[in-house]
Chains A and B, each alone.
Chain A
Amino acid sequence: MIDIAIIGGGPAGQAAARQTLAAGLSTTMIDEQARPGGQILRQPPAAFAVKGWMAGRLYRPLRHLLAQTEADTRLDWRGSTSVAGIERIADHFRLTLSGAHGGTLLARRVLIAAGCYDMPVAMPGWTLPGVMSAGAVQTMLKSQQLVAGQPIVLLGSHPLLLVLAMQILDAGAEVAAVLMPQTYGRTMRAALPHLAGAMFAPSPLIAAGAAMARLRLAGVPLMMGARPIGFTGDGRLEAVDYAWRGRTHRIAAQVAAVSYGFLPQSDLPRQVGAAVRWARPAGGWETLCDGAMRSSVPGLYVAGETTGVAGADAAMAEGEIAGIAIALDAGAQPASDMARAQARRARLQPFIDLLRAVADPRDVWPQATPETLLCRCEDISVAQVEATMARLSPMADASAVKHRCRIGMGLCQGRSCEHALVRRIAAAQGCDPDAVAPFRVRFPARPLTVDEIIG
């Protein structure tokens, strides 16, 4: 049995490992990627030689931590491995792993630092090949040094699109347009209450400003207040439709990169019974924790986007706090001071609040039509879901809808449609999404072959 299993090799997991290793705890880190780094520093394959990889100033502390992690021989690194199951047995945990290091792993404590994923948004044509999440386009750039296609249109409410646009330009490709549904006015009004506090951590703001200037210089139209309507094409994406100043426009695109926000990975915390709540503003479920990143399940810690999407700096700070807490709870001596780590995390909050306010998708969602698929695994349309909900009225939870029309029953386990279904149920019942019981999270968190299970 190991002392601590860290699920996720991103900034949070790495920062935690630094503390637990310094405290002399046997530490295993599990990640679905072959190499550590998480999504923010998604590494190229080891065989690639990439000059100036992720050289930006913002990435410097993250790259430093990554170099430290990769050089630490005490860390038991298990890449290319998924955690399919987590159970608490008496005073420890049993993880069911699949992939390169499949099998079971017993750990006294577990840290879930599993990050977040791009929120899929159902709108007309969103399942056409060529419509991608902004995160996927960015991953291809970071890891494979590939631009997904051209012309490329970026759309959605999340400012990540500005960073992505700049990275595409840096890669030598062109951006046809960036369509953001919120107006300048709304953006400023949303940002204003948070600006003063955010000045304590100004570098991301400067970076956003630099990105906007860079886009202007490159002649990329950044259209605030342009509301995406849908995607069209014969068998694959050919154009993006959007509304702009009262008229409908069409812009040609081979690839559309969409970002309305991110959903915390919540399958493992929910599987093991940790308390979660509806994440604001974008949705999904964030795992609740105390100031030392302890979840409601004894021995289970959470850090980073799992606790609410807040970016890599917050993840790194939370990972450090979790690592310190794990070391202290195990009766060992961590490398850093808890109060200082907590202060570092607290300083980031105003900027996180600012970003959340600016990116808030709630009043700028694109509209799905009755024919739009809500569940793309099982091909369940908005109309089918609405009809099922109507039959179940007045009270329905997400599972009741799922059982009757198969929404969320497919390979993705509802990761892409559950948030949208819960929002719809909440709207129909006039309640808060937090009051709607979501799907019951089941084993396995990722599909496993029968062969992998029986060995």
Chain B
Amino acid sequence: MTHEVLIIGGGLLGCAAAWHLARAGLAPRLIEARGINAGASGQNAGSLHFQIERRFLEPGGTAHAQGGDIVRLNRLAIEEWAGLEDQLGRPLDIHMHGGLMLAENEADLALLSLKVARENELGLPTQLLSGAEARDLVPRLAPHICGAAWLAQEGHANPRILADAFADAAKSSGASIETQSRLLDLRRDGDHWQATIEQSGQIATARARHVILATGHWTARIAARMGLNIPLYLAPLMMSVTDRTAPFLPYLIQHVGKRLSMKQTDDGNMVIGGGWASAPQKMADGLPDLDAPPHLVPDNLRANLAVAAGVMPCLRGRSLIRSWTGMTCISADQLPIVGEVPAAPGLHVAAGGSMFTLGPLLARMLARSIIERAMPEEIALFSAARFAHLNAFVVPS
């Protein structure tokens, strides 16, 4: 069977790309090894964060400079999220009531002021608040919180339902979506790609002009099997959720100096995360097992909750119901890698950081790059071409 576009992976990225391509009449086929939304798309904490992240403010490296590139993308992502419920025509628990990035001491505050000045230069309307102003917004913040950066468009969404919404919309627009369908092999065949797929015990092949690897943390390994180097590195994380409590926090909470994200869901639970590591299970050869859930690291759980309770002391009395782990990946320069891989014409990737917040936007851009046969200028900075040198010694097969 020959398709114009074959999408590997039924997460947020793959399903959203399928929808955009289907609406353009390309009738894409999507295969997913497990179920829709079974990976990181459904396991992340659901933050919509558009301020420059803590990791881009950490001293050293080039990440600091790239914070600016992220801001430009984030402004587009804000527009994308704001229109999503209307576009998909159903409620998605998207809440963009604002977000606070907190400062607990003078050093935090200095960093925060620098950040706000920089964001304002780049056109992101963050505001610096005093501790008292922050507590006016969230009275339960600890008394020692001495400042916060406020961005009115931040918030959170429900990661458990978003990919389904894209998948359903894609199907109604003519996409074929097949779960329990695992990619076994992908290779070049003339001007097409040939995929070998395992589907309910049967092996089948499919040909496609374009293939999108919307495969999250599996992307680098799938590419490696094809002899391609995509600099994506495993980021095994953990998140936690408390019991329900009456609504008191309509905002996203982050911390400028420590790893923290915190929000209250529609159901009243507090979801706490912020980029704390879990430990991947290992395969016999010592490499991380990409299919198995990572182990919780109790010290990191304690540290994560201590940061949360430090800024929000009322959390101490709440019950932790569940901590869970999931895996995503970050790129060599911490910016997403999106688009066609120069050494492999027709092969497209999209992974590498903040893929929930940026996912709907990047999926649209990726689809556009296939439909228009040109990379949209808005995401040129994130093109896979910037790592083309890593494939300088690849022999096209």
Contacts and interface: CB of A to CB of B under 8 A. Distances in A.
B319 A411 contact: yes
A401 to B, nearest CB: 10
Contacts of B321: 409-411, 413, 447
- Give the dominant DSSP class at B's interface: mixed
Given A404-B161, A406-B267, A411-B243, A454 B306 contact: yes
A87 B315 CA distance: 26
14 contacts: A87-B295, A392-B35, A395-B35, A400-B35, A404-B164, A410-B243, A440-B324, A443-B296, A443-B298, A447-B243, A448-B320, A450-B242, A451-B309, A453-B301
A85 interface: yes
A104 B298 CA distance: 10
A455 interface: yes
Interface in B301-343: 301-302, 305-306, 308-309, 315-324
A397 interface: yes
Contacts of B298: 85, 87, 94, 96, 104, 443
Contact of B35 (A85, A396, A448): A396
B180 interface: yes
Contacts of B293: 440
A453 B243 contact: no
B63 interface: no
B38 interface: yes
A379 to B, nearest CB: 10
A403 interface: yes
Interface string B11-51: 00000000000000000000000010110001000000000
Interface in A180-237: none
A442 interface: yes
Nearest to A441: B322
Contact of B38 (A400, A413, A454): A400
Contacts of A391: 164
Nearest to A444: B320
A450 B315 contact: yes
Contacts of B180: 395
A449 interface: yes
B319 A454 contact: no
Most chain B CB inside 10 Å of its own CB: which residue of A94, A378, A396, A453: A453
A129 B180 CA distance: 43
A450 B179 contact: no
Interface in A398-436: 399-400, 403-404, 406, 409-411, 413
Interface residues of A, number: 32
Nearest to A391: B164
Interface of B: 35, 37-38, 42, 160-161, 164, 179-180, 242-243, 267, 293, 295-296, 298, 301-302, 305-306, 308-309, 315-324
Interface of A: 85, 87, 94, 96, 104, 378, 391-392, 395-397, 399-400, 403-404, 406, 409-411, 413, 440, 442-444, 447-451, 453-455
Nearest to A89: B295
Contacts of B267: 378, 406
A450 B160 contact: no
Nearest to B37: A403
B317 A404 contact: no
A194 B301 CA distance: 51
Nearest to B295: A87
A450 B308 contact: yes
Contacts of B164: 391, 404
B214 to A, nearest CB: 19
A333 B179 CA distance: 54
Nearest to A94: B298
B35 A450 contact: no
A446 B10 CA distance: 33
B323 A403 contact: no
B301 to A, nearest CB: 7
Contacts of A411: 243, 319, 321
Nearest to B270: A450
Contacts of B317: 449-451
B179 A395 contact: yes
Contact of A447 (B295, B301, B306, B319): B319
B324 A442 contact: yes
A403 B158 CA distance: 10
A332 B340 CA distance: 64
A447 B160 contact: no
Given A449-B316, A450-B315, A451-B316, A443 B160 contact: no
Given A87-B295, A410-B243, 12 more contacts: A378-B267, A397-B35, A400-B35, A406-B267, A447-B243, A447-B320, A448-B319, A448-B320, A450-B242, A450-B315, A453-B320, A454-B302
B168 to A, nearest CB: 8
B323 A443 contact: yes
Nearest to A85: B298
Contacts of A440: 293, 324
A453 B302 contact: yes
B309 A454 contact: yes
Contacts of A444: 320, 322-323
A399 B36 CA distance: 12
Contacts of B324: 440, 442
A413 B35 contact: no
A178 to B, nearest CB: 37
Given A395-B180, A404-B160, A450 B243 contact: no
Contacts of B318: 449-450
